[in-house]
Amino acid sequence: MERLFIFDTTLRDGEQVPGCQLNTVEKIQVAKALEQLGVDVIEAGFPISSPGDFNSVIEISKAVTWPVICALTRAVERDIDVAFEALQYAKHKRIHTGIGTSDEHIRYKFNSTREEILERAVAATKYAKRFVDDVEFYCEDAGRTDNAYLAQVVEAVIKAGATVVNIPDTTGYCLPEEYHDKIKYLMEHVDNIDRAIISTHCHNDLGMATANSFSGVMAGARQVEVTINGIGERAGNTSLEEIAMILKCHKQLGIETNINTTKIYPTSRMVSSLMNMPVQPNKAIVGRNAFAHSSGIHQDGVLKNVQTYEIMDPKDVGIDDNSIVLTARSGRAALKHRLHVNGVDLTEEKLDKVYEKFLVLADQKKEVSDADALMLAGADTADTHAVRLDFLQVTTGKGVKSVASIGLDISGQKFEAAASGNGPVDAAIKALKKIIMKQMTLKEFTIQAISKGSDDVGKVHMQVEYDGALYYGFGANTDIVTASVEAYIDCINKFKKEED
């Protein structure tokens, strides 16, 4: 197996997304996660760009052990000086310097010539080499650079000491075949190409970042520059998770990475949370729908053999299991499976009747929850409880005192009460206590995170102390206040059952 090195630039290119800036503590948290994930190189920042970036590179260098810590610079001596100073505590150092090589950059950005740019490239590489052994040179906008001139630059910087040469598709312009041919051209026309690693760095402006990076790997590149969740400037960068799983799924290619793929999903979620960048539901590998199946045909196939519609095991990326989502398009097999998971097994005749009711409910809701399915199957035993919630009405808001009105059915008798409180949940529980009239103490109140959207079911876990004993209750509802009351009532029913 050949080794492909993973260069992660989440903390540099990824962090350049507007509104996604991290403080130093958060950057260290990400860097440690990347180390556990198994990335080979962490691009920690652009030290000369700001005091914050400079300090972050220093602290990240202290925090991680085995990955190479890389600092970005322009082909400017002062940039390189500052980068080396920021890398002073890194166990393994790399300076990443470079300059634009396309005619567009040479003419309009630098007002220069190809000859002058070549001289600056060589000079910057030699200067960086004075400080560190590991120097990476980037040919900015290589995607639009003439191949013959690009080969000339690559050969010159390798001769000057570059250990890695980065061939960025900076604007995301290249087609996969075009980018493949560019890397192949370099492999065939740069005499000293064997003395350096060729790296890809592709942007997703046309949605081809991963395809281009993979094409580059197939042409001979042995480092890919990526970000978690594909975040980055404009439309983003190549996704780390996509490259890692492509190679894991296609082992016949004989190329492997050091990535511990079981850490992909938790790392994805952490980065998403810290950067306030939601992962799109249909995002490959880490989107919430990546292993979800709502089509009845797909669900039936997955239940019979997961490989019918899944080329990856969700556990390989750190997800516990695939997600069978019940919708109006779900078949009997999916409903039967969800009920079985929840401990309910139905005869075919009973399943047919429940399925008819299920379709009616599914047309009313986007998704049918396990609680809904259990109710349809008659497994919901709420109707046998001594205490049941008839209705709940709450008035709350900013500058308005929360008031709750509640109605309970206790063994067939109807009771109503109202109360005010410090928030809607407090008001509702106080109204409930007026009816129950028991000395209960709320010991624990936990709301489970809502994972899909504001209309999803919120889950409440509650612990109540009564007469020296602890009782646990559970409630689930799209209204979190109602879920809280149901959890409290669940506790009441448990100790009432013991009393009876």
Which residues are annotated binding-site positions for Mn(2+)?
A: 13, 201, 203, 237
Q: Which of 479, 489, 428 is nearest to 454 (CA)?
A: 479
Q: Tokens 């109006």 belong to which residue?
A: 328
DSSP 198-242: EEEEEB-TTS-HHHHHHHHHHTT--EEEEBGGG--STT-B-BHHH
- Known binding-site residue numbers: 13, 201, 203, 237
Contact 321, 292 (CB under 8 A): no
Q: Say if CB 67 and CB 87 are below 8 A apart.
A: no
Closest C-alpha among 153, 148, 123 to residue 138: 153
Amino acid at 173: Y
485 near 433, Cβ under 8 Å?
A: no
Measured CA angle at 124 (ends 122, 127), to 5 deg: 110
> φ, ψ for residue 441 (rounded to 5)?
-120, 125
Query: Side chain identity at 328, as an amino acid letter?
Result: A
Q: How many helices (H) and strands (E) does the chain have?
A: 16, 18
User: Do 264 and 285 meet the contact criterion of CB atoms below 8 Å apart?
Assistant: yes
Number of C-beta neighbours around residue 208 at 10 A: 22
Place of tokens 């779900």: 330
Amino acid of residue 232:
G
Could you tell me where the beta strands, DSSP code E, fall in 231-333? 255-256, 292-293, 323-324
Q: Which two tokens stand for residue 354?
A: 């429940």
Contact by Cβ (8 Å): 250, 217 = no
- For residue 58, give the 3-state DSSP assignment: helix
Give pairs for 27-31: CB < 8 Å, separation 24+: 27/56, 27/59, 27/60, 28/56, 28/59, 28/60, 28/63, 29/270, 29/274, 30/228, 30/270, 30/271, 30/274, 31/60, 31/63, 31/64
Phi, psi of 137 (to 5 degrees): -115, 130
Distance CA 272, CA 139 (A): 30
Q: In the structure encoding, which two tokens stand for residue 249, read together? A: 């799924």
